[in-house]
Structure 1
């Protein structure tokens, strides 16, 4: 959504105000001008007509001297028309009439009944009306020019006045969540309102730093508490493996326990890096083949299907060489597979890599409605309020994908199961550069 800047709003508002004021002044001037004109015309024509009436009373043979601007017409009241009276004047009642068209001229007419005659005294105002229209155009043009200059001035002044706001917005945009000690600095010309906002933001940054510090301390404490039992399990497994009377049937499960303990310890390290220094994830260069890792993940999760009529179908797997944190890939795929198992009761769960680096897990579960899928993606966009099973959850997978350039898509529908697509192609390594494969 494109939003107008405050600067543009101020300039537009002032321009609108200027145009409104110009229109109001023009309308007021027009009304006043028309009223004054009618008063002047009435006074002038009544004076002339009074003079004619006085002379006419003194000398009935007196005739009005016609000029280019003043003309007098008479019509007996007993007649409705006269050959000497212009048609434009015939229907005019007694009184003053402005801007009457008469023979390509504009005239003002004063009509009065004198004795048994109706007298029409006309004044040619064509030149005056033309001058009035010219002045009107000059006035309108000057008003528009003044409004335009005011808009430009408002734009410049608003830009200067809003410069502290712009600098504050740029300073806020430059803040980085992984840096400590960040504060907003104010210039000497910053107004009191900007200082208030900056002060509130600095207080928030301080509270945020304290919160992050507490979270990191908590993560350190939890990681320590997790490492202790893992170390105990690994140590006990080492001691048991060293016993000479160890049954042959226990060798493989014991090896599995030791491998899992090491994997969990590595996973804790990765999660700790994700929580404290996520940028380090992209620098981990563990090279391994995905088609060799996926069967192990399937084997680790087969026990979850024992009480269900479910079958895990693994393959085909396109040859894929990755350079990424192995334990992160293992846990991400394992979490999606666990989710598929937990949401299905019978049928076949397919795990495939048809395109190198793209893991597809399809389950036969009930699926989800579009609304439920929308809530999942909305939760992921908000850094997640939704969790699946007892694994690391979709939110953590999303964070891992964000830092490693991966992508997670979920396609589903009621009655047709769910398809989870984990795109790992950002970590692909060419087959010719396979040195150091784990």
Structure 2
């Protein structure tokens, strides 16, 4: 089915509509001229017949002549004619001898006497009775057929011309489309054109150079940050392991050493995931990854957020569902959704439901205000949590640090949305009827069409 919004189809429709309007204008002019000529001929014929009848029969109330001519003195004419008649020739359909025909009539003032002259059109008009009117009827029939043929031919020519001309008009745009789709290798061939297509080609080429420059800068920045941060993170992890090994088994500092080591590892994984996001999706491998394993690991990792809350969490899956995805990206996406659910739920339950085509993270927390739904995935957009650092137990330094850091800067959902776009998955939000929110990741469990070799992270 053709797209009615395409430029080519719009041009074709415009040509056809123009042809229809032009034909309608010619038909209107022809019909108006035809009616005017016919009325003039009828009027002259009836006035001529009035003079002949008066000369032959003298003054009478009604004159009858062939074919179809009848002249009334106004006061003896049918009442219906007296009401409708004017000085201009009129025409109305009537039934005569079992078939429909036309009645022409008008009024004429002769000295002190007024007449109504009528002519009942005869389809078998004989040239001997009125040659001029008979010839006009003959040519009228020919003109009608010729006009119909001209209209049909004009519409066919308009369709053919519109099709050919639209192809020529749209061809430069199609060339531009092909040049853009071919990695811009042929775009430079169009930039020298003086037409509007050349202007578009130059604008697209300039924009492509700018985008390539900014993309290269982002990739270099991400790679440099990843490279520079890995060394200190490795040192931190090594130092925390040495510290944990040297501490007594019953020391309270073991918890902090483990926390340092775990956070350093998580930061390293985040850096790896961000580096993956900076690459083109088609250049990444997609290993078969267990969704349930990632979900359970993230629930366990973030369980400290529920340490001082009456909130339970459950991961529900009828089997071990898998998807072809980098585990770092899935971990970051699920981790942000679960973290938000834990952070904004003070009591009730958080449920992670996994099935064959989606992952749903549902909570009984604050929910999303309606005014925030439209900006839900914008950067630095976040809810204000009722729990603040001042309301916590100042003696619980571990919980104080975790709760304060967990509030975030409103980047979590925007990162998840970016990951979904990168994976060609989809993220949706639903408000729960009993309060809280449900975020659903609609994933693709089928392997990608092409799987590239595993790339090395720098």
Question: TM-score, structure 1 length as denominator?
Answer: 0.69
Secondary structure of 1:314 counterpart: strand
Q: CA offsets, 1:391-438, max 9 Å, x none?
A: 754344334334435332321146521112224452689xxxxxxxxx
**CA distance in 2 between partners of 1:154 and 1:329 (Å):** 57
Partner secondary structure for residue 17 of structure 1? helix
How far apart are the structure 2 equivalents of 1:132 and 1:347? 94
Distance across 2 between alignment mates of 1:411 and 1:73 = 85
What displacement does 1:259 show?
5.6
Query: 1:30 Cα shift?
Result: 1.4
> Which residue of the other structure, out of 6, 14, 18, is the alignment partner of 1:9?
14
Which residue number corresponds to residue 332 of structure 2?
A: 331
The alpha-carbon deviation at position 290 of structure 1 amounts to 3.2
Other structure's SS at 2:278 match: helix
User: Cα deviations across residues 307-337 of structure 1 (Å, max 9, x unaligned)?
Assistant: x634241334432344421111111001101
In structure 1, the partner of 2:282 is: 279
* Cα pair distance change 1:319/1:330, threshold 3 Å: same
Determine if the alignment matches structure 1 residue 151 to structure 2 residue 155: yes
Q: Give how far 1:23 is off.
A: 1.3
CA contact (8 A) 1:320 1:428 kept: no
Q: Tell me: CA distance 1:108–1:219, structure 2 relative to 1, closer, same or farther (3 Å).
A: closer
| Residue equivalent to 1:205 | 205
Query: Kindly tell me: are residues 212 and 260 of structure 1, through their superposed partners in 2, closer, same or farther at Cα, counting changes over 3 Å?
Result: farther
Which residue, out of 407, 416, 427, partners 1:397? 416
Residues 258-311 of structure 1: CA deviation (Å, up to 9, x unaligned): 565455434434433433412223x232x44333332321232233345x6342
CA contact (8 A) 1:98 1:107 kept: yes
Quick one: distance in 2 between partners of 1:284 and 1:123? Answer: 91
Q: Deviations over 1:198-232 (max 9, x none)?
A: 41342133123213312331342244235423420
- Distance in 1, matches of 2:150 and 2:316, equals 76
In 2, distance between residues paired with 1:289 and 1:259?
22
Structure 1 unaligned runs (5+)?
A: 58-65, 430-438
* Alpha carbons of structure 1 residues 12 and 408: separation in structure 2 relative to 1, 3 Å: same
CA contact (8 A) 1:237 1:258 kept: yes
Counterparts of 2:438 and 2:106, CA distance in 1 = 91
What aligned pairs does 1:273-312 form with structure 2 within 5 A after superposition?
A: 273-281=276-284, 283-285=285-287, 287-306=288-307, 309-312=309-312
- The CA distance in 1 between the partners of 2:96 and 2:348, in whole Å, is 101
Query: Secondary structure of the equivalent of 2:367?
Result: coil
Unaligned runs of 5+ in 2: 126-132, 383-407, 449-458
Q: Does the Cα contact within 8 Å between 2:176 and 2:197 map onto a contact in 1?
A: no
Distance 2:312 2:22 in 1: 73
The superposition leaves residues 359-404 of structure 1 with CA deviations (integer Å, 9 ceiling, x where unpaired) of 322111232366654x25xx76xxx567555475434433433443
Quick one: which of 265, 282, 295 aligns to 2:268? 265
SS of residue matched to 1:411: strand
Following superposition, the deviation at residue 69 of structure 1 comes to 5.7
Cα contact 2:353–2:359 (8 A) shared by 1: yes
Contact 1:70 1:123 in 2 (8 A): yes
User: C-alpha separation between the residues in 2 aligned to 1:405 and 1:147?
Assistant: 53
CA contact (8 A) 1:336 1:361 kept: yes
The answer to whether the 8 Å contact 1:324/1:427 transfers is: no
Distance in 1 (alpha carbons) for counterparts of 2:353 and 2:89: 96
TM-score, scaled relative to structure 2: 0.67
What residue number does 1:48 align with?
52
Pair 11,217 (structure 1): closer, same or farther in 2 beyond 3 Å? same
Give the root-mean-square deviation of aligned CA atoms.
4.9
Task: Report the Cα distance in structure 2 between the residues aligned to 1:28 and 1:263, rounded to whole angstroms.
Answer: 89
